[in-house]
Chains A and B, each alone.
Chain A
Amino acid sequence: MDFFTDTSNIFLCAVSAAALDLCVLVLILIAYNEKKHAQQYWNRISCCMELSAPDVSYPLNCDEILIGRHASADIRLPDLSVSRYHAILTVSDGIWTITDIGSKSGVFVNGTLVTERILRENDVINLGNKRLIFRRRRNNNVH
């Protein structure tokens, strides 16, 4: 009898520990699944926009994107004509705005020098010698 209660104690302990583990595991999987939904939501917020240079395109994955020459900038443009911290892109209510943050050579949208400007699809942005196009993402595998 003693033996029975002893083993049943360990057995029940193991069962509750296993249930807890399983629950945590399921919730981790759920968190991964929610990542997909979060991406969908983000696509709705950001209108699936991206900045594209002739050879690369930069996805816009968070709501404040720093553009500059410095290594820590989100979009790094390694060109001396670009300031270390040149401009910042922000989004709210699905509207992207570009703001000059004290650059030396200025921000040009469609050829106009701006300090803050709401971006529309296919706007051409010039930062120093670099030219970026603000456009809808091309690949269709993103929902």
Chain B
Amino acid sequence: MKSIKRSQYIISLFIIFFIAGMTALVIKIRTEADFYMMNSDGQALGMVYDRNGGVLFDGKGTGIYEDNFFVDVGNLIGDNKGQMTNTLVAQNLDKLNNYSFSSGTVDDGKAAIYTTLDHNANRAVYNAYGWQKGCAVAYNYKTGEILVCTSLPSIDVTKGYDGIEYFESGTLISKNMYRTVPGSTQKVSTVVSALEIMGADRLFSKVYNCSAHYTNLNGDVIDCHNQGGHGDQNIQQALENSCNPFFAQLIENNEDLPLDDIKKQYRKMGYAVNDDEYGYIDIDGIQCETASTTLMDSHEFRTQWGCIGQGDTMVSPIQLMMWQSAIANGTGKMTMPHIIDHVTDVNGDITDIAETSFSKQIFSADTASTVRQMLLTNGANHYVYSISGYTVGVKSGTAQVDEGAKENSLLVGFVDDPNKPVAFCILIEDKNAGFLTTEQVVKIMLDSINLQ
């Protein structure tokens, strides 16, 4: 009867509501179970391997390793202790956990992360630094595989965190991921912008004089590192000389190089200009800061220095390296770096195989090949002996930090060799404290990288 039917409708509605809720719950649990297990105390973590099968992280903690075996990648690979969060293990605990919803936690499971890193090369670079600090990163600009990513000072995670309050600052982070003053390596970005806006012919026709000091229209003085000045030079010479007055005059030339166009080009390349919000480059869960700068007025001191590589400009080494890939590829598209090659789950089945991906066009292919040629010329003219055996396109930089108290040395570049397509960025902190040069590090790094 109708009256009874009505109550039956209500009962059915309630039951359907509950079943729908339970379905949603099961789907939620099924998809988020890995995440829940990351928060569990009873984890059975697997291993992290390098490209040659060497151990980079031992989740089981059963292996026996030499002293400081993991120190070169300590602050990149990290661990699950929670002290370092922006690390490969901390960000990928769910992949490393020997757990699946159907089989539960398996203590001797086969979950593992196979990285693209080359442990030998990392160790060689780490050792090359000696007691000096800094960071070095290199990757295959054809595939995006990060080969070397080391940062000093570092720690060996197997030793724990005793005396953490006495650790030197920067021990627990990979400096490659964080912004630093780029110094003259910034001039690459400025050259790229100028080429995009003016075109190669007009840019190469520009000749400016350098007499060690340049007083801009606002009356501020831009100094050159060469006390005698460089005289008249074109863009190629200025880039090789890393001549600050030349670039100051180039920026100040508002007719040929409107500042709004520079801003537009900088934003395209990933800078956060003025009050833009910072973004992050995601490298397999690890967050890498993007560049930032301040460009207000082309006659302003700060803006000119910003384009030269001091002032408010900050870039992370990884991003400097990624721009090199866009130049080296000759396409104007950056190769997106990745660090995980593939992952195996608890049963040993391969999941998450990395694929090479590219950014969108950040500058034209013509610009890329012009800058590529300029950097190769620079390399051929100045680095043939120091980086012997490799055809490299490079740009060096010296960055003043701590208000000029210290100088960091930087070198960005790429190897022009189809068998070793490596783009890199080297940073040596406080270069005047020791005798290590960036070229030495690059040489050691390239020698030790084994792509076969």
Contacts and interface: CB of A to CB of B under 8 A. Distances in A.
Question: Is A in direct contact with B (CB under 8 Å) within the complex?
Answer: yes
Interface residues of A, number: 8
A66 B1 CA distance: 10
A61 interface: yes
B3 interface: yes
Interface in B395-417: none
B4 interface: yes
Contacts of A62: 1, 3-4
B2 interface: yes
A66 B2 CA distance: 10
Contacts of B4: 61-62
B2 A73 contact: yes
Interface string B1-24: 111100000000000000000000
Main secondary structure, interface of B, reads helix
A123 interface: no
A55 to B, nearest CB: 20
A73 B2 CA distance: 7
Interface string B217-236: 00000000000000000000
A65 interface: yes
B1 A72 contact: no
A33 B3 CA distance: 23
A115 to B, nearest CB: 22
A63 B306 CA distance: 89
A66 B5 CA distance: 14
Contacts of B2: 72-74
Interface string A120-136: 00000000000000000
B108 to A, nearest CB: 9
A132 to B, nearest CB: 16
A62 B1 CA distance: 7
Interface residues of B, number: 4
Main secondary structure, interface of A, reads loop
A64 interface: yes
Contacts of B1: 61-62, 65, 74
A66 B4 CA distance: 12
Contacts of A64: 3
Nearest to B2: A74
Contacts of A72: 2
B288 to A, nearest CB: 42
A61 B2 CA distance: 10
A91 to B, nearest CB: 12
B102 to A, nearest CB: 10
Contacts of A66: 3
A106 B2 CA distance: 24
Interface in B1-60: 1-4
B452 to A, nearest CB: 40
A66 B344 CA distance: 68
A74 B4 CA distance: 9
Interface in A35-76: 61-62, 64-66, 72-74
Contacts of A61: 1, 4
A87 B222 CA distance: 103
Interface in A55-104: 61-62, 64-66, 72-74
Nearest to A72: B2
Contacts of A73: 2
Contacts of A65: 1
13 contacts: A61-B1, A61-B4, A62-B1, A62-B3, A62-B4, A64-B3, A65-B1, A66-B3, A72-B2, A73-B2, A74-B1, A74-B2, A74-B3
Given A61-B4, A66-B3, 11 more contacts: A61-B1, A62-B1, A62-B3, A62-B4, A64-B3, A65-B1, A72-B2, A73-B2, A74-B1, A74-B2, A74-B3
8 cross-chain pairs, A with B, having the tightest CB-CB distances, nearest first:
A62-B1, A74-B1, A61-B1, A74-B2, A62-B4, A74-B3, A72-B2, A62-B3
